Structure 1
């Protein structure tokens, strides 16, 4: 039986069913749990949430006079499940926004998303069953952000420390899968399934020792064989979980397959891989090679797209082409040289052409010196991109600061 109560009436032992407010307004990655920790109770009361739904069939009820709970008391509307416990959809949730407007909101989603994945991995290590439904609000927030401006969250999720890689990688692949699903024209349910699959695709790494996952040097053959068990380990965890779709289990098990049959663990090929597994393979690799790892620096986004296009037999051509369209030939964060000799970093995709993004220039290759930063919209400028560039060639460090700046 569900009841809506003010947070002031919350007490330990109550079963929280839902928060009355946006996912980002409360401090938890999931709802539907029994309040047992006084610190959690304090966090709820200190948040922007003013009302919550509780389930009195699964936890304590509010303190009321005894007569209200006597057998002869007439039932009230609050004694029965309510048909709707979620907030009405916010019409502004998916209104397109500029990169600069979206990046701050995306930063909060990425941060909370990381916390959610850390919690999921911890629960998996402790043997608790995975509840996919609990992660649905996170997938929804990521999906809405991608709808408003796909480049913001996808680009921010690429920026991760070595220790954060496993968790942030899951958030990044979730966003990439959603963007790719939209590019492929999949329906809303399929898009949400794709996002959830991206979020949970590496769950099996919870079973891999941290000293192996975060090893700063090259893995031994034995360690690499151990890491390669993560798709099957994750699949086993998902089989024991609740509300896990077949799409999620499929991507978890098969995101390391290749269309030429040389992948693992089942050596599937282009004929036997599902569309979602092919999507997962592309998204997983892109985020992996563009991210800093314990043993190597990430590649430039545009260079990564170029190299992936050259790997024959790795990706499904149709899926990869759609992936490039979803990100752009020059994804946000790519370092490019304009025909004028100026170096700049891509800060936003062009509305009409993949070849004409917005670029923030900050360096002159002719003068060999930094210049006053300036944003050039190549769709409205005679300037053109001459080539991708390697930052190290010009002695440029921390390219990402030119597009992230102080926005996060």
Structure 2
């Protein structure tokens, strides 16, 4: 049985099922492992976590802890309540009209960020003017239809992760800002901050940054210095905005003060820093990588709700859920009839019933003739049962957008 437990109640012999934190924010190779020594517990306490999940079938029990089924049911109900009440901004054009242009913008953005970060690793000055045309192109795509460009950003190549993650964070921040009604000029400054939020990683030794296995405690400590390194680099960049600097300097701070590097708390963290922390967490967990499977978006949204007012400000979490939707475009879902379907469009007034394209049948274990369903229509008797992991079925959802 999976149970949620206070970290103060951890004991040697318990089996950690989930550290309840993004895998990039802890030094353990996996989120799941047996607590074999007091040092393992000390390392978890050093992360300043509040709660973790244990598997009582693989390790010691904690009789007073809440079963995960109960926690999951509560989070599911909260998320669906939000899905019934939150409304998204209507797109200006359809997914089909925007997706081709969005692919071009993403390709250009990846090249630009790669070049800037590589120049930084070589000790060159950040050329801020290179970012502005790309940020403008991303912003225009977001304003036309935010789901098109965001849907293209989940798959990351292991050797390109830092660059591709940077583009995704910048793009999601732009979409987040638009959903909050922030002025266009500030939206683009936030986009620049998102694209450059991990620039400090270029000062982390390559053998640590690209290490495929478990980081040691000392290596993890070095990795965490990227935030301060990024702040210093951007402060020395001519024409940089305080908004952009705050995003790089604060994207690992937590609302309850448990983050790093400065342990800022509440409103000590700028609004853009708080937004960047949410976006960075979401993209890191939902990204598919060769050696790290993605977590499906709805599960990550539940984790954001769970971390609200601890790691994240709850009003901003709600606004972010409104930004990306309950069933983001490009995700794979299972329907009641055992078909797998790709979410191809979200309704701005009904976040629980998107448009989907059925492409594969689980019973037959074979691809089928694609069929479109609008789950919001009264005559449609299909509903979403759960998310599915595309890699499990060897399906590329982007091919069906």
Alignment TM-score, normalising by the size of structure 2: 0.72
Partners of 1:398 and 1:153 in 2: CA distance: 22
Per the alignment, residue 81 of structure 2 pairs with none
In structure 2, C-alpha distance between the alignment counterparts of 1:404 and 1:214, rounded to whole Å:
29
SS at match of 2:260: coil
Q: Which residue of 2 aligns with 1:351?
A: 348
Partner of 2:182: 186
1:311 and 2:301 matched = no
The SS at the match of 1:363 is strand
Q: In the aligned structure 2, how far is the partner of 1:105 from the partner of 1:385? A: 31
Deviation, 1:367, is 5.2
Does residue 370 of structure 2 align to residue 373 of structure 1? yes
Does residue 120 (structure 1) correspond to residue 138 (structure 2)? The answer is no
Give the distance between the partners of 2:141 and 2:374, measured in 1 at CA. 23
Please give the secondary structure, in 1, of the residue aligned with 2:126. coil
Change (3 A) 1:397 1:367: closer
> Does the CA contact (< 8 Å) of 2:332 and 2:397 recur in 1?
no
What's 2:386 paired with?
A: 388
1:5-47 Cα distance to aligned partner (Å, 9 max, x none): xxxxxxxxxxxxxxxxxxxxxxxxxxxxxxxxxxxxxxxxxxx
Matched residue count:
309
- Where in structure 2 are there 5+ consecutive unaligned residues? 1-90
Asked if 1:299 is matched to 2:298, the reply is no
1: CA distance between counterparts of 2:389 and 2:189? 37
Residues 78-97 of structure 1 correspond to what in structure 2 (within 5 A)?
96-97=92-93
1:261 correspondence with 2:245: no
Structure 2 CA distance, aligned partners of 1:246 and 1:189?
13
1:355 deviates by 0.9
Matched residue SS, 1:158: coil
Matches of 1:100 and 1:214 in 2, distance apart? 36
RMSD (CA atoms):
2.0
Report the 3-state secondary structure (helix = DSSP H, G, I; strand = E; otherwise coil) of the residue aligned with 2:293: coil
Q: Deviations over 1:228-248 (max 9, x none)?
A: 011100111111111100011
**Corresponding residue for 1:6?**
none
Measure how far apart 1:368 and its partner are: 5.3
1:179-258 matches, cutoff 5 A: 179-258=175-254
Partner of 1:135: 131
Which residue does 2:82 correspond to in 1? none
> How far off its partner does 1:316 sit?
1.1
Deviation at 1:106, TM superposition (A): 1.2
CA distance in 1 between counterparts of 2:220 and 2:238 reads: 30
- Contact 1:99–1:151 (CA under 8 A) maintained in structure 2: yes
- The whole-number CA distance in structure 2 between the counterparts of 1:186 and 1:124 is 30
C-alpha separation in 2, matches of 1:383 and 1:180: 33
Q: Which moved more, 1:195-204 or 1:371-380?
A: 371-380
